[in-house]
Amino acid sequence: MNDSRDLWTVGDVLDAMSGPNPPDYVMEIVNEIQAWLSSAVSEELIIDPTDMAGGERQWTADLEYLFSRIEWAGRYADLVPLLKESGSREDVIILSIGPILLDEGMRMMVDHAALFASETCRRIWMISDTWIIGDILSYVPHIKALLSKGIQLHFLLVTPWGYSEIPWTREK
């Protein structure tokens, strides 16, 4: 992240987003997540009426189904939270999808890169259906520490209709 207090322009953000394309296996995971999210916002959406009382719509979807569709990616990267062995690959995919909150995903990213895979981790692909500035700002020191160790960080925000890489820094 940039230490200066200057503002990013839309052009700066778009330029930073035009970095290298993710590997094919990451794109296959993104496609699976998009399909899963699409089913969640279609007529298959399950809303618990007891959760509506507080004014907030809570939805549940079959996360186990999604995980079963993407567990094959463990051949290419450490897949968190589905990791079968600790820290064996250079690439790590952190899933912060559905009920796995962004804050929890950020914590898993830092824990995995710094503790469980500190000798092997070189690239992190955080895949999330949420981007919350407060959750990201809480981890700025952690992000800077990972970047200073030479770890490449990629944040892919996925919606049912597409995805975008949100830059962590101005550098490509």
Per-residue pLDDT tens over the stretch 32-54: 999 999 887 775 555 555 554 55
The chain-wide mean pLDDT, for the chain, equals: 82
Name the residue with higher pLDDT: 21 or 46: 21
- How many structural domains comprise the chain? 1
- Domain membership of residue 4 (yes or no) is no
- Domain membership of residue 36 (yes or no) is yes
Mean pLDDT computed over 83-88: 74
- Domain membership of residue 44 (yes or no) is yes
- Domain membership of residue 79 (yes or no) is yes
Please report, for residues 35, 90, 105, 141, the alpha-carbon distance to residue 161 in angstroms, rounded to integers and kept in the order given.
9, 29, 22, 32
Lowest mean pLDDT among 5-19, 57-71, 100-114, 153-167: 5-19
- Domain membership of residue 5 (yes or no) is no
Mean pLDDT computed over 75-104: 88
* Statement: residue 123 has pLDDT above 60: yes
- Domain membership of residue 172 (yes or no) is no
Which of 113, 115, 125, 116 has its CA nearest to residue 150? 113
- Domain membership of residue 150 (yes or no) is yes
* Statement: residue 79 has pLDDT above 60: yes
- Domain membership of residue 53 (yes or no) is yes
Q: Using an 8 Å Cβ cutoff, are 122 and 155 in contact? A: no
Residue type, 87: G
Portion of the chain with pLDDT greater than 70, in percent: 76
pLDDT in tens, 145-167: 999 999 999 999 999 999 999 98
pLDDT score for 144: 93
Model confidence pTM above 0.85: no
The boundaries of the domain holding residue 26 are 10-166
Q: What is the distance of C-alpha 45 from the center of its chain?
A: 22
Q: Using an 8 Å Cβ cutoff, are 78 and 117 in contact? A: yes
